[in-house]
């Protein structure tokens, strides 16, 4: 296994996972994966379908439970068993397809599960503030749907749907944002918007895991590239030391050698 790590000497990672295993029935989806991310760091997580990318981030987000392994948050051993656990730690998932309710409107979708309540009557929903904040944040993202936060989400385009997910992570100032293919279905302007958003996270010391099929999309913004293949971490390298071509070659080599190992 070819691994070289960016050392942030003397710094404790924001989140560290050690020796994570996950089985789905007989399928060994993660085979002892180590993963860590520092404050304000952008990690590009890449790999083919079925490589274990989404299983890994789902474990971090509390959607899926690991079978083995430890999780450390700022050096302290912790447990993430539910989405609520993860949110308490400031971990925000932004899975496009899996986190929207089609029959509800834009405003409610942005605040899904964290609806705002009236300050004097804390059991009553505060629609007014929710719609105002939705309008603001969608306006900042340059989305037309900002005009109408009461529109049902199923009538939105792919880019607008993505915008809602991005808006969510901007609104709830998180410590760690997980973006699953955030540039998929987006126009050129939309892609630029998302990449700008990821950079702005960095400025606020928010860490980000950026999942993609291909290196091209993550190379621009990532500090570090992690490659998963068939449940194993094959590569974990700081981007700054390599050009895009060198990285591509490394990916080809490692995946090729691991494939030949199996075949």
- Candidates 59, 100, 177, 251; binder of other proteins (CB under 8 A) is 100
Please count the residues of this chain forming the interface with other proteins, following the rule CB under 8 A.
28
User: What is the nearest approach in angstroms of other proteins to the Cβ of residue 11?
Assistant: 30
By CB under 8 A, is residue 10 in contact with other proteins? Answer: no
By CB under 8 A, is residue 219 in contact with other proteins? Answer: no
Considering beta carbons, is residue 10 or 113 the nearer one to other proteins? 113
**Contact stretch for other proteins (CB under 8 A) within 25-33, 39-47, 98-106, 237-245:** 98-106
What binding mask, one character per residue, do residues 116-155 give for other proteins by CB under 8 A, x or -? -x-----xxx-x-----------------------xx--x
What backbone phi and psi angles, to 5 degrees, belong to 76? -100, 135
- Candidates 12, 99, 129, 258; binder of other proteins (CB under 8 A) is 99
Q: Which residues of this protein are in contact with other proteins, per CB under 8 A?
A: 61, 63, 82-84, 87, 93, 95, 98-104, 108, 112-115, 117, 123-125, 127, 151-152, 155
């Amino acid at each position: 296994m070819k691994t070289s790590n960016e050392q942030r000497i003397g710094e404790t990672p924001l989140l560290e996972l050690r020796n994570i295993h996950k089985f789905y029935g007989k399928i060994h989806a993660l085979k002892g994966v180590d993963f860590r991310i520092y404050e304000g760091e952008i990690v590009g997580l890449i790999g083919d379908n079925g490589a274990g990318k989404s299983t890994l981030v789902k474990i971090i987000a509390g959607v899926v439970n690991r079978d083995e392994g430890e999780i450390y948050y700022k050096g302290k051993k912790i447990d993430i068993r539910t989405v609520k656990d993860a949110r308490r730690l400031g971990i925000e998932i932004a899975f496009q397809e899996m986190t929207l309710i089609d029959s509800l409107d834009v405003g409610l979708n942005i605040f899904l599960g964290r609806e705002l309540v009236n300050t004097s009557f804390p059991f009553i929903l505060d629609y007014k503030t929710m719609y105002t904040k939705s309008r603001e944040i969608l306006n900042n993202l340059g989305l037309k749907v900002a005009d109408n936060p009461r529109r049902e989400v199923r009538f939105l385009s792919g880019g607008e749907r993505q915008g809602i997910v991005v808006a969510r992570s901007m609104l709830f100032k998180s410590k760690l944002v997980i973006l699953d293919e955030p540039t998929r279905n987006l126009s050129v302007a939309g892609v630029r918007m998302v990449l700008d958003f990821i950079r702005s996270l960095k400025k606020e010391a928010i860490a980000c895991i950026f999942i993609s099929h291909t290196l091209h999309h993550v190379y621009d913004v990532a500090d570090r590239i992690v490659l998963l293949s068939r449940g194993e971490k094959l590569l974990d390298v700081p981007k700054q030391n390599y050009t895009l071509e060198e990285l591509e070659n490394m990916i080809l080599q490692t995946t090729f050698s691991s494939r030949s190992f199996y075949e």
